[in-house]
Chain A
C-alpha cells in the first residue's frame, strides 16, 4: 500500500469513528490551528522567505492575519452554522418538522498552491474542519520550504489521523487522486484542474476549483487617478504579481495612459525604492521556469517602466508595458508576474466588449467615481467577483463568497460559504405515524373527488404572507374536520 493510500485510509477510519462530528472537537481543532498560526509565525515566515522571498511583514499581512480572522469567525459561528435550518412547510406537513441538517461529507482532499501557500491551503482546511470532515492536505511542492513546515509542524497541533499532510510532486499527487474522496478542493491552474476533475469523475466526487484567468482592470477617465494607481500598483506588485486575483492588465482611454503610467511609476518607487532588487519588501519569481515564461511574455511589447531582470535571482522589476495590442504575447495567458500591460480602449463600451470576448475572469476591477458606470459594468459582464476602486480586498471579506465562474473555477469558500460548501445539506422531514386519516386522499383507489382534494392540499405551498396565517389555519381546521368526519363515516 502506498504512503498516500495509507494516509487516506487512516483519515477515513478516523472519520468513521465519528469524533469529528462533535462541535467541541471541531472547535478544539480550530483553536489548535489558531495556536499554530500564532506560535509558529517565525517558522512560517522563514519558509515563505526561502520560497518566495516574502518580507517579514508579508507573512502576517498576506497569509496569517486572514487565517486568524477566518478561524475566529468559524469558532464563533460554528454552533449557528451547524444547527438545523428550518424551512417553510406545506399544508400537509404543517405539524411536522421540516429542516435542513448540515452534515460532514467525509474525507476532503485539499490541494494547495504555491503563491500564498498558507492562505490557499489552510483557508479551505478551516471550512473542512468546521464542517466536520477529515481532510488530507497536499501542499504545493513548488513552495517546498513551506510544504516542509506544514509537514513537520501541523501534526504537532492537529489530529494527525484526521488531517494528515501528504507532501510530494506529480507522482504523489496522482497516487492521491486514485483514492476516493468525498470532495476535492483544488487551487491552481486550468490545465491541472482538468486532470483533477477527471480523477474526481471516476468516483463521482464533487470538486471545487479555484483557478485564475486574466483579471481585467478598467480605469475610467472620471476617477481619482492618483489613489487608483496606488491601489493598483499595490494589488499588482504584491507577491511579485503572483496572485490569482492580481489586476492582470489595464484598460484605459489613450488620453490618460501617460498619466496612469506616471502614477504607477511613482508608487513603485514609493513602495520599493529606486532599486526594488535591493528592497526587502519586494519578492522574487517562484522559480526559473516561471521566470523564463514571464521573460518570454515581454516579447513584442514596449516597456514603459522597469524591465530589469536577473535570472540568477529570479528577479523581475515591477514592469509596465504601454500600448499593448490584444494579440500581444502578454495577452495570451494569465501573466502571474510583475508585468502590467496597458491597453487603450475608447471608453467603457469598448472595455465591456473586450472583457466579454474573453473567458470569465476570477476578478474584475473597475476604477471610477461614476457609480452608474460601475453598476453598468457589473451588470454587463461576468466574473468570479468584482471590486470597484481597489484591488484584492474582496478576498478578505469573509461574508463574500470567493470563487470563480466558467474558466476561472467552480465552487466558493470563505466564512459560512466554506462551511456550507464542504457540508452536505441534508433535507429532513420528520413525521409521525399519527393523523393517518389525512393521508387517505393520496391512496388508491383514486377517485376524482380525492384528486380534487389532493390537488388543493397535498402540494400547496404555505405562503403566509399573501393568505394570512389566520385564514390558512381556518382552512386547515375545516379540512381536518371534513377528513375526520369521513373517517367516522367509513
Chain B
C-alpha cells in the first residue's frame, strides 16, 4: 500500500506533466464522474442508508442529482469559463492585449464531511477537475460506508495518476496537512477549521472553509402559515436536521407561534405519519456520539417539548422535536444543533428579532418567512449571512448560479457551478505589449520633467471622460 508521501509525489508529478491542462482531459474526467453516478446508484444508496439511514428520495436528490446537475452545468460551460477574458484598455494601451487567464493551482486537498458524504466531497472535486488541478480527496471517516465506496470508485473511474483518495482519522489528516498543497477545501466544524488554517499558514496555502453556525429562521408578519410550516418542516428535518443550512432555530412572536404549531404538527404527520420512527422517510443520527450529544442537549434544555422528544439509542433515532419557551441562555442555543430538534424563541418585534440575529456570529444561511415583502427586505438589508432565502429553506444552495459559502465564523470562500471553477483557479492578469508607442513611454522615463508629467496627467484626465481606466505610462 502506498504511503501518503508516495501518493502525493505521484499526484504532483502528474500535475507537473501537464496532463490536466487540455480541456479534453478535463471533460473526459467529468464525463467519467457522471458514469460513476450512473453506474453505481444502487451502491450509493446502500452506503447512504448504512451511514445515515438516508431515505432514498433524499439521497437521490441531495447526493446524486445535485452533483450530477453540477457536472452537467460544468461540462456545458467549461470551454467558455476557460476562455481568456479580455479587459477594457485605454487610449495608450489600445494596442495591447490585456486579459485574465484562469490557470490551475496545482494539487488541491478536498476534505469532506459526513452529513452529505458524497456531495460535499465530489461537488468541490468537479471544480478542481474543471480548473485543471490534480486532487487528493480525504472523505470523512465518520460516514464509513461512503468512505469505503469513494475509495473504491474514484480510482475506478478517474485518472489514478491525477486524483487519489486518502482515508483516515484525525491523526492521518494531521499528517496529510503537513504537506504542501496549492489549495485546501474543507467542509466541517469551526474548531477543526482553525487547525486547517494553522496548517495552511506553513505553506501560505489559500483555503476555502465551508463551516456552519446556527442558521436562524425569522417568521414574521402576515403569512400563509400552512405553506410556511410545510417548507420549514421539510428543510429542518431533511437528513434528520443534519444539514449545515438547516434552519437551526425559529424566531417569531407568541401569536405567530400559536398559529404555526398546529400546522407544524400537521406537516410532520403528513410527512412522517403518526409514528415517524416507522417512516422510511425519516433519517437517523450518524453516530452514537452525535446521538448522545443531541439527547443531552434536549435533557439540559429548559424549554418545553411540544412535539416529539422521543429517542431510541439502538437505532440512533430521535423524533422530529419542537421545543418552545426557549431562552437565549438555553443549552439548545449554545451550539449548532445539527439534529431534528427545533427550538422556537419568541420575540416581540421585528427589530428584536433582527438584533437577536445580529448579536450572534454570521450564520451560513439566514431565513425569513413572510408574505410582507417589506419584512423580507428589512431582514435582508439589516443582517449578514453566507446566503439568504426567503419563504423556504435550503433551496438557495441548489442553484449553481449562486456562490455557496459562509462569511465570518461560517466560513470563507465559496463554490458551486462556475464558482467552484473560479475557486480552484488562479486568475492571472496578462498584458502583452508591442514595441511601438515608445514615444509615449518616453513620458515616464527619467530625467523626469514637469512637462512630461503634465502630459501624463492630461492622459489620465482623458480617461475620465468615458474611457476605461488605466494610467498612461
List A residues at the B interface (Cβ < 8 Å). Answer: 55-58, 60-61, 65-66, 68-70, 72-73, 76, 87-90, 92-93, 98, 100-101, 103, 105-106, 182, 190, 193-194, 197-198, 200-202, 204, 206, 209, 211, 224, 227, 230-231, 234, 270-273, 279, 281-282, 369, 371, 374, 378-380, 382-390, 393-394, 396-403, 405-407, 409-412, 415, 424-434, 436, 439, 442-446, 450-451, 454-455, 458-461, 463, 466
Contacts and interface: CB of A to CB of B under 8 A. Distances in A.
B248 interface: no
B185 interface: no
A234 B444 contact: yes
Contacts of A430: 376, 389-391
Nearest to B368: A430
24 contacts: A57-B452, A60-B456, A65-B457, A98-B401, A98-B402, A204-B408, A204-B409, A206-B413, A272-B446, A382-B103, A387-B432, A396-B470, A400-B429, A428-B387, A428-B389, A428-B402, A430-B376, A439-B231, A444-B272, A444-B282, A445-B273, A451-B60, A454-B61, A460-B69
Contacts of B69: 459-461
Contact of B469 (A56, A206, A415): A415
Contacts of A387: 430-433
Given A386-B429, A459-B61, 17 more contacts: A57-B452, A66-B471, A89-B399, A98-B401, A201-B197, A201-B198, A204-B193, A227-B435, A387-B433, A394-B430, A394-B431, A425-B414, A426-B384, A429-B387, A430-B390, A431-B392, A461-B69
B385 to A, nearest CB: 7
A194 B199 CA distance: 11
B198 A431 contact: no
A397 B399 contact: no
A285 to B, nearest CB: 18
Contacts of B463: 69
B149 interface: no
A149 to B, nearest CB: 21
Contacts of A428: 380, 387-389, 396, 402
Contacts of B360: none
A98 B395 CA distance: 11
B81 to A, nearest CB: 14
Interface string B433-473: 11100100100111111101100110010011000111101
B306 to A, nearest CB: 21
A65 B197 contact: no
Contacts of B430: 378, 385-388, 394, 400
A270 B60 CA distance: 72
A77 to B, nearest CB: 9
Contacts of A369: 435
Interface in B414-436: 414, 426-435
Contacts of A461: 69, 72-73, 400
Interface in B263-278: 270-273
| A90, A369, A409, A433, most chain B CB atoms within 10 A | A433
Nearest to A445: B281
B57 A454 contact: yes
A75 to B, nearest CB: 10
| A69, A384, A427, most chain B CB atoms within 10 A | A427
B386 interface: yes
Contacts of B371: 432-433
| Pairs of residues from A and B, 10 with the lowest C-beta to C-beta distance, nearest first | A87-B401, A427-B402, A400-B429, A57-B448, A446-B57, A399-B87, A201-B197, A444-B281, A429-B396, A281-B446
Contacts of A444: 55, 57, 271-272, 279, 281-282
| B280, B411, B426, most chain A CB atoms within 10 A | B426
Contact of A72 (B18, B450, B469): B469
B76 interface: yes
Interface of B: 18, 21, 55-58, 60-61, 65-66, 69, 72-73, 76, 87-89, 93, 98, 100-101, 103, 105-106, 182, 190, 193-194, 197-198, 200-202, 204, 206, 209, 211, 223-224, 226-228, 230-231, 234, 270-273, 279-282, 369, 371, 376, 380, 384-392, 395-404, 407-409, 411-414, 426-435, 438, 441, 444-450, 452-453, 456-457, 460, 463-464, 468-471, 473
B61 A202 contact: no
A22 to B, nearest CB: 11
Given A105-B407, A383-B428, A429-B390, A459 B457 contact: no
A399 B468 CA distance: 8
A431 B57 contact: no
A201 B204 CA distance: 12
A181 B376 CA distance: 28
B230 A439 contact: yes
B435 A281 contact: no
A430 to B, nearest CB: 5
B428 A382 contact: yes
B343 to A, nearest CB: 22
A201 B192 CA distance: 11
Nearest to B384: A103
B399 A87 contact: yes
A106 B69 CA distance: 35
Contact of B470 (A194, A398, A405): A398
Contacts of A454: 57, 60-61, 65
A61 B204 contact: no
A306 B101 CA distance: 38
B209 to A, nearest CB: 7
Given A271-B445, A397-B98, A443 B182 contact: no
A369 B270 CA distance: 73
B473 A400 contact: no
B399 to A, nearest CB: 6
A98 B388 CA distance: 10
B182 A406 contact: yes
A428 B412 CA distance: 17
A174 to B, nearest CB: 16
A202 B399 contact: no
B68 to A, nearest CB: 8
Nearest to A60: B453
B201 A194 contact: yes
A385 B202 contact: no
A61 B448 contact: yes
Nearest to A97: B390
A476 to B, nearest CB: 16
Contacts of A432: 371, 391
Nearest to A93: B399
Given A88-B401, A405-B105, A436-B224, A389 B395 contact: no
A66 B60 CA distance: 53
A433 B228 contact: yes
B448 A281 contact: yes
A459 B398 contact: yes
A402 B430 CA distance: 10
B204 A197 contact: yes
